[in-house]
Amino acid sequence: MRSVFASALCAAAAISSAHSTAQAAAIVYGADATKTSSVLHGANRELTQIGFMTSSDLWTGANFLRWDDGRLTNNKGSYGWMDAIPRDVNSSNGVSGNPDRADGAAPFLGEAGKTGTLREVFGPFGGGYKNMSYLIDGEDRAAWTLDLLLAPGQTISADANDRTIELSLIERGGNSDLRIRGIRDDGTLTDAIMMLRSQTGRTGWTLDSLEIGGPQNVVGVGISLDRSWTNLKGFRLEAADGMNGPDLIAVGTIAPTPLPTPGTAALMGLAALAAGRRRRA
């Protein structure tokens, strides 16, 4: 009897879940090259539009310029937003994750000393666009961790619509995986989700950087996060042995909004109270 009752409960749960509009898990959509375009300024690439399979969302370069701060931890050390990170160039592979650039792209400020910064890779370049010819190059069997943070006090939260995108990654190669976590405003991390190489879609352009000897396809994903990903101040991207060296070009997200602080909420409460008193007076 008990097992029959349990089965009935399971069936009811399945029906309930099937009819629920709430999204239960992150969904990863490949980039759609037919809805994606970019322009070159010399060999520096500016994204003008990116679209994704099965989603009607169209993002622009602005979606990939949300970052105000960051930290990269690799096999050599841990580096903040403006810190000079040692780079591999000309087929050397000693740094597990490092700034790299298209062969013809503008040199990094630390070019002579073979360094680059997170701000150069993920911040505005020249006229203010995210330079899609700058990336973090990974190695086949090595690990790195990258935190990207929104401006202080700003957060993003996933909606309940599984066709809208909240996070996009652009990667060079399309033969690597990447682990993703949300960083909540209180510093705690969400559960991890994966971008698998099989889920990526081509953007329509290629990238040949200083660290490799020929061009590779650039791919992307758009991810609809589930509703447990709320009040995020940033994202953590992780490469590990077995992920085949993800080469991260860009990370995009929706427009952030200010997180109401307890102080703001209290002030608003006081204002409402004062208004009520005035009305009664």
Q: Interface with Ca ion includes 50 (CB under 5 A)?
A: no
Residue 264 C-beta: closest distance to Ca ion, Å: 26
Pick between residue 68 and residue 87 the one whose CB is nearest to Ca ion: 87
CB of 39 to Ca ion, least distance (A): 21
Amino acid at 242: G
* 103: contact with Ca ion by CB under 5 A: yes
| Total residue count of the chain as it appears in this document | 281
Answer yes or no whether residue 98 interacts with Ca ion by CB under 5 A.
Answer: yes
For Ca ion, which is the closer residue by CB, 133 or 154?
133
Does residue number 32 form part of the binding site for Ca ion (CB under 5 A)?
no
Residue number with CB closer to Ca ion (61 or 173): 173
Candidates 26-34, 177-185, 224-232, 234-242 — which segment interacts with Ca ion by CB under 5 A?
224-232
One of 114, 224, 226, 248 touching Ca ion (CB under 5 A): 224
Stretch that binds Ca ion, among 63-71, 125-133, 223-231, 271-279 (CB under 5 A): 223-231
By CB under 5 A, tell whether 247 contacts Ca ion: yes
Choose which of 70, 173, 252, 256 interacts with Ca ion (CB under 5 A): 173
Q: Applying CB under 5 A, which part among 25-33, 58-66, 110-118, 164-172 lies near Ca ion?
A: 164-172
| 197 binding Ca ion? (CB under 5 A) | no
- Residue, CB closest to Ca ion: 173
Segment lying near Ca ion (by CB under 5 A), choices 11-19, 56-64, 127-135, 242-250: 242-250
- Nearest distance from C-beta of residue 16 to Ca ion, angstroms: 21
Question: HSE of 85 in the Cβ direction (CA atoms, 13 Å)?
Answer: 34
> If binding means CB under 5 A, how many residues of this protein chain bind Ca ion?
13
Tell me the per-residue interface mask from 119 to 148 with Ca ion, x by CB under 5 A, - otherwise.
------------------x-----------
Nearer to Ca ion, 73 or 161 (CB): 161
Is the Cβ–Cβ distance between 44 and 61 less than 8 Å? no
DSSP the chain: -HHHHHHHHHHHHHHHHHH--S--S-EEEEEEEEEEEEEEETTEEEEEEEEETT---EE-GGGG---SEEEEE-SS-EEETTS-EE---TT---SSEEEEEBTTSPPPTTTTTTEE-HHHHHSEETTTEEBTTEEEEE-TT--EEEEEEPSTTEEB---S-TTS-SEEEEEESS---EEEEEEETTS-BPPPEEE-GGG-EEEEEEE-BTTSSS-EEEEEEEEE--TT--SEEEEEEEE-TTS----EEEEEEPPPEEPPPHHHHHHHHHHHHHHHHHHH-
Smallest Cα–Cα separation from 146: which of 257, 247, 45, 258? 247
Match 């580096």 to its residue by tokens: 79
The residues binding Ca ion (CB under 5 A) are 88, 95, 98, 103, 137, 159, 161, 164, 173, 176, 208, 224, 247
